[in-house]
Amino acid sequence: MNRRIIITASILGLLAVISGAFAAHGLKQYLTPSQLEIWHTGVQYQFYHVFALLFLSTFAKEGNRFTNAAYYLFTFGIICFSGSLYLLACREFLGWSWLIVMGPVTPLGGFMFIGGWATMALAAFRNK
C-alpha cells in the first residue's frame, strides 16, 4: 500500500463529503436546481476518483512511473474537473461572472481522469 496515495484520497474524500453536505444544507437556498446539479456532478466525480486512488494504493509501488502518473492524473483531475464545477455552480451567487473562463478547465480535468484510468491499467499490467 502506498501511504501518500491513501492520505491524498482520504483528504479528497473528506472534502467530497463536506462539499456534498455544504450543498445540501448551505447552498440549497442560494443556487438554482441546475446549479446544484452541476455541484452534485463535481461531488460525484470527486468520489469516483477518490475510490480510484484508494484502489491504486493497493498495488502501488514507490517509484513506479505509471503509478505516479495515475496518482497525479487522478489528483489533478479532481482539482480541475470538480473544482471548476464547484466554481461554475457558484458563479452567479458569488457575483463573479469572470468565472466563465473556468469552463475549459472542466474538460481538461476529464482528460486527466481518462489518462489516470489508462495509466492505472498500465501500472496494474506491469505490476509483478
Q: What's the full length of the chain, in residues?
A: 128
Q: Which residue has the cell 514507490?
A: 62
Q: What is the pTM of this model?
A: 0.92
* pLDDT at 63 (0 to 100): 65
Q: In this predicted structure, what is the pLDDT of residue 36?
A: 96
Confidence class for position 109, pLDDT limits 50, 70, 90? very high
Single out the residue of 114, 9, 123, 10 nearest to residue 60, CA to CA: 123
User: Would you kindly state where each structural domain of the chain is located, as residue ranges?
Assistant: 3-126
| Lowest-confidence segment of 28-37, 81-90, 93-102 by average pLDDT | 93-102
Q: Residue 86, class by beta-carbon neighbours within 10 Å (0-12 exposed, 13-18 middle, 19+ buried)?
A: buried
3-23 tens-digit pLDDT: 999 999 999 999 999 999 999
pLDDT at 128: 67
SS3 95: coil
Alpha carbons 37 and 9: distance in angstroms, whole number: 23
